[in-house]
Amino acid sequence: MRAVARTVSPPSRSTSTHNLLARYPSMRVAWLPLGVALALSLAGCGSDSSAAPTCNGAGCSCADASCTCAAGTDCHAECGSDACSLDCTTAAKCNGNSNGALTLECHDTSECKGNGSDDSVITCEADSNCDLKAGANSTATCSDGASCKINLGPDSTIACEDTAQCNIKCDANCVVTCAPTADCSLTCGSVGGAGVTCPDGRQVCGTAC
């Protein structure tokens, strides 16, 4: 009688692993944290983490998304696509730019320039000098004896207080509150022309009183 030779294929790796886990169930528990860690690691690969803002010039420093310009005549903060804040003090000359929301505070006799996107918040006080531009839904306050040039997008709010001097340009649905002792000039951007003065003293662009 003639013997018939048979070729036996080795078990696949997946089959071997399945058999091993079936034989030693405790290994399932031991491997679970490793699997979770590996999944988290792979999920993090290629993720777009935001870079911290950069600040150049004398007296300029940043901590996380908050930058400060203390004195110096060439303080320049770049925030990229992230929201950030810039605080200018001690007669600083500073410039802040963000493609996200910019929170800028200009104090004492500082000179401040800023360019932010939607939802920016701008404050100029004391005898500061501000030249600022921001997107929609932004807020600007110019108080004390500050001199402000402000250009904001639609649905924004501006307050010109005390004896501040405000040169304002904004788009539709913006509202300006100007104190009787302040000096305000309003130009409406996309809707054109000057602002409308309401009975309560507010000035508006592209919206009813």
Whether 33 has a pLDDT exceeding 60, the answer reads: no
- Structurally, the chain folds into a number of domains equal to 1
123 in a structural domain = yes
Provide the pLDDT for residue 125: 97
28 in a structural domain = no
Residue 203 · residue 178 · CB < 8 Å: yes
Whether 4 has a pLDDT exceeding 50, the answer reads: no
Confidence of residue 143 (pLDDT cuts 50, 70, 90): very high
Whether 98 has a pLDDT exceeding 50, the answer reads: yes
The pLDDT mean for the chain works out to 82
Provide the pLDDT for residue 150: 97
156 in a structural domain = yes
Provide the pLDDT for residue 9: 52
Whether 7 has a pLDDT exceeding 90, the answer reads: no
Range(s) of the domain holding residue 179: 54-205
Provide the pLDDT for residue 50: 60
Whether 201 has a pLDDT exceeding 60, the answer reads: yes
1 in a structural domain = no
Provide the pLDDT for residue 209: 85
Task: Give the tens place of pLDDT for each residue, 53-86.
Answer: 998 998 899 999 999 999 888 899 999 999 999 9
Whether 40 has a pLDDT exceeding 80, the answer reads: no
Provide the pLDDT for residue 206: 83
Whether 45 has a pLDDT exceeding 50, the answer reads: no
